[in-house]
């Protein structure tokens, strides 16, 4: 016990050594990324996303843009045969622009009465192929043309006119730039400048494509019709205007009434054209729509002709998938004059005594039948005849006696 007490006393007498302060982890305040760093990160993620999407689309055979030769060889046999029957005619849509080539096909004797068939939006001379043969076999000289941007006629480079606004427009611009310049172009831009300059893309496109009209307005299209008629020596002619061809055809007729024997309107539409070109406008969505044979065929049957054959729908899908085909039909739809008044035009001094006829579908819808009645009342002197076809009646409405009514 004594030893234990002694040890406790010695321990108590030992000097207390200063203890080192406990080391606690220091909490450092996180630094906020600088604005350039945030911008770099945003454009990096944005470019990576668009690049991956572009890579995915480019890797799909159905969406990869084919070269012209392979595209032509892949055309259906009837479409290739139609092309072999026609020819290309050089025309000018605008004096400040280079000439373009317009496809035209004809049937019948050269000394017969001339009938010129003009298709509507989304359509082409291919839709009149049966009508051409029927009219030609009856002794008429029938001619159908592909308006610029349609069928086998030239398409304009329409990137500027086909732009969308807002965020979708920005995505579409960068997406198109990456498709044109390559998958890793965006990464090069990030490494060199730290961003992808959207303003530079827009500025360059504006200088490249200009602020001119698309070339698909009524005046330009009407000028094309006149140049084809003059080049092929078709005047005087019976003019047949289908759907949205109403505006361009009427424009040319007003300028050249002496070259026209009569005008026939087939389901003319100013405010409500049959083909929904706006559905092909959004980036990627339009390409996906054209990539599906089933979906595009259903779209045409819903909007244009309920009895359209699958091979015919496939032919139009091929034409729109060609170089700038989709962009052209979208731009042509935007350039239409949706305020055109058929009755007001038919009452003008230069055409009021001209022979008119209206062919209208009586089986499409009640609303469309009412539209036909209003069209008939707008031109009281015109002959009015109904047909059982759809909005594109030339595809199925091919009885000879029906089409010879235009004379």
pLDDT confidence tier of residue 208, bands split at 50, 70 and 90:
very low
DSSP state of 362: S
Determine the pLDDT at residue 203.
47
Percentage of the chain beyond pLDDT 90 is: 36
Question: What is the reported pTM?
Answer: 0.72
Q: What is the secondary structure of 245-269 as a DSSP string?
A: GHHHHHHHHHH-GGGEEEEEEES--
Q: 220, 172, 177, 215: which is closest to 196 by C-alpha?
A: 177
Domain boundaries, the chain: 68-155+219-405, 168-208
State whether residue 104 is helix, strand or coil.
strand
State whether residue 242 is helix, strand or coil.
strand
| CB neighbour list of residue 169: distance below 8 Å, 6 or more residues apart | 163
State whether residue 345 is helix, strand or coil.
helix
Which segments within 334-407 are labelled E, that is strand? 355-361, 383-387
DSSP state of 338: T
Tokens of 118: 């003009």
Average pLDDT over the chain, rounded to an integer: 77
Across 21-30, 106-115, 123-132, 189-198, least confident range: 189-198
pLDDT confidence tier of residue 371, bands split at 50, 70 and 90:
confident
Instruction: Give tens-digit pLDDT for 190-207.
Output: 445 544 444 454 444 444
Instruction: Report whether CATH 3.40.50.1820 matches the domain 68-155+219-405.
Output: yes
Tokens of 348: 């003008």
Phi, psi (rounded to 5 degrees) for 375: -65, -40
Instruction: Give tens-digit pLDDT for 322-331.
Output: 778 898 999 9
- Asked if 171 and 163 touch (Cβ cutoff 8 Å), the reply is no
Q: What is the secondary structure of 183-227 as a DSSP string?
A: TTHHHHHHHHHSS--HHHHHHHHHHHH-S---S-SHHHHHHHHHH
The residue ranking higher by pLDDT, 334 or 6, is 334
Determine the pLDDT at residue 400.
47
């Amino acid at each position: 016990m004594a030893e234990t007490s002694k040890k406790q006393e010695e321990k108590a007498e030992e000097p207390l050594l200063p203890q080192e302060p406990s080391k606690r982890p220091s909490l450092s305040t996180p630094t906020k990324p600088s604005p350039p760093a945030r911008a770099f990160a945003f454009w990096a993620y944005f470019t990576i996303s668009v690049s991956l999407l572009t890579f995915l689309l480019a890797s799909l055979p159905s969406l990869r843009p084919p070269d012209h030769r392979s595209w032509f060889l892949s055309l259906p046999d009837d479409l290739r045969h139609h092309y072999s029957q026609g020819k290309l005619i050089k025309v000018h849509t605008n004096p400040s622009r280079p000439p373009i080539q317009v496809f035209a096909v004809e049937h019948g004797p050269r000394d017969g009465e001339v009938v010129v068939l003009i298709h509507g939006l989304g359509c082409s001379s291919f839709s009149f192929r049966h009508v051409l043969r029927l009219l030609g076999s009856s002794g008429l000289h029938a001619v159908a043309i592909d308006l610029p941007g349609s069928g086998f006629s030239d398409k304009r480079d329409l990137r500027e006119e086909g732009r969308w606004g807002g965020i979708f427009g920005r995505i579409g611009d960068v997406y198109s730039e990456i498709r044109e310049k390559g998958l890793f172009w965006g990464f090069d831009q990030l490494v060199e400048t730290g961003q992808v300059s959207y303003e530079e893309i827009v500025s360059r496109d504006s200088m490249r494509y200009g602020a001119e009209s698309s070339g698909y307005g009524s005046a330009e299209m009407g000028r094309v019709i006149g140049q084809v008629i003059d080049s092929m020596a078709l005047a005087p002619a019976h003019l047949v205007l289908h759907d949205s061809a109403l505006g361009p055809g009427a424009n040319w007729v007003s300028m050249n009434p002496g070259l026209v024997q009569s005008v026939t309107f087939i389901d003319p539409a100013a405010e409500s054209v049959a083909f929904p070109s706006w559905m092909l406008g959004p980036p990627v969505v339009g390409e996906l729509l054209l990539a599906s044979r089933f979906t595009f065929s259903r779209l045409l049957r819903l909007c244009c002709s309920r009895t359209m054959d699958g091979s015919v729908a496939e032919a139009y899908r091929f034409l729109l998938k060609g170089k700038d085909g989709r962009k052209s039909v979208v731009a042509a739809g935007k350039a239409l004059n949706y305020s055109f008044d058929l009755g007001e035009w038919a009452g003008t001094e230069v055409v009021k005594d001209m022979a008119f006829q209206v062919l209208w579908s009586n089986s499409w819808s009640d609303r469309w039948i009412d539209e036909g009645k209003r069209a008939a009342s707008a031109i009281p002197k015109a002959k009015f005849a109904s047909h059982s076809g759809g909005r594109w009646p030339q595809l199925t409405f091919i009885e000879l006696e029906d089409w010879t009514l235009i004379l």
